[in-house]
Amino acid sequence: MVAIAVSELGSISPTPKGTPLARLVGIGKTYGTGETAIAALRDATVDVRAGEVILIEGPSGSGKTTLISILGLLLRPTAGEVWLDGKNVAGLGERALPALRARHFGFVFQGFNLFPALTALENVEIALTMKGSKTGRAARAEATRLLELVDLGPRLHHLPADLSGGQKQRVAIARALGGDPPIIVGDEPTAALDTKTALGVMELLRALATDQGRAVVVVTHDPRLERFADRVVRVEDGLISSITSASERHAS
């Protein structure tokens, strides 16, 4: 497991735990039209709060990726509201979305999505530059800081091919933290990792929520990750079938 001392992460976010950061209300998504239309999601309502880890679970094809993609402004809903910063952004035009997405969200995916020809440091640096949050020396310094935060200080100049799966995912997490987004979303970020490494990555995401007040929303098929979650949202056949809190799960 990654030995991240909780205090090492430091508290960067003044946002008190429990502050609402995003809210999906009555979200629906239908892919296509007419006879081939697929209702992937219906009437989904979820709150995302500072300092919380939310897991999204459910069978394959149930709508998890659809749900988290709508939350992360990667996909537009066909019904419902997406609240960010006290505004419903569901109806905003395409041109408004990239800036909002970059300000509010960091993304972590199953496949890491690192540039293979760039070192760990360069991967994080280029993301900062592309986001427009830092350039030049400042980007390099910030990328170094973020990689040290995820315990990769000794691997700055390694290429992805020379890193383990868990290390690659930690590079991706460092990259997601660039620009200091309040919400980290992950679509099966631990699916390509062995159990021990997966738990280590989840422990790191948990620490980012607890210590830095970020919200972490993660799609997973792995019930062993539930121990890190404040709430588990279960999606079945396009509907949220339950939302259970950690205390409810412990009681059952």
State the residues that interact with ligand ATP by CB under 6 A.
31-32, 38, 40, 58, 60-66
Residue among 157, 129, 132, 133 nearest 144 (CA): 157
**Which range touches Mg ion (CB under 5 A), out of 58-66, 178-186, 194-202, 204-212?**
58-66
**Which range touches Mg ion (CB under 5 A), out of 24-32, 59-67, 98-106, 114-122?**
59-67
* Closest separation in Å from C-beta 133 to Mg ion: 28
Q: Give 7 or 33: the residue with its C-beta nearer to ligand ATP.
A: 33
Q: What is the DSSP string of 154-172?
A: GGTT--GGGS-HHHHHHHH
* Closest separation in Å from C-beta 28 to Mg ion: 18
Alpha carbon distances (Å) from 30 to 27, 67, 94, 234, 235? 10, 12, 18, 19, 16
**Which range touches Mg ion (CB under 5 A), out of 63-71, 78-86, 100-108, 134-142?**
63-71
Is residue 144 at the binding interface for Mg ion, with CB under 5 A as the rule?
Answer: no
* Closest separation in Å from C-beta 112 to Mg ion: 16
CA gap 194, 186 in Å, rounded: 17
Q: Give 212 or 220: the residue with its C-beta nearer to Mg ion.
A: 220
Q: Give 120 or 240: the residue with its C-beta nearer to ligand ATP.
A: 240
The residue of the chain with the least Cβ separation from Mg ion equals: 65
Is residue 65 at the binding interface for Mg ion, with CB under 5 A as the rule?
Answer: yes
Is residue 190 at the binding interface for Mg ion, with CB under 5 A as the rule?
Answer: no
Residue 71 tokens, joined: 């939350």
CB contact burial 27-49 (16+ within 10 A = b; e otherwise): bbbeeeeeeeeebbbbebebbbb
The DSSP symbol for 187 reads E
Q: Give 2 or 225: the residue with its C-beta nearer to Mg ion.
A: 225
Q: Give 106 or 189: the residue with its C-beta nearer to Mg ion.
A: 189
Q: Give 65 or 220: the residue with its C-beta nearer to Mg ion.
A: 65
Bridge partners of residue 44, in order along the sequence: 27
Alpha helices in the chain (DSSP H): 6-9, 64-71, 97-104, 120-131, 136-149, 165-177, 195-212, 246-251
**Which range touches Mg ion (CB under 5 A), out of 18-26, 57-65, 88-96, 209-217?**
57-65
- Kindly list the residues in this chain that would bind Mg ion in the complex (CB under 5 A): 65
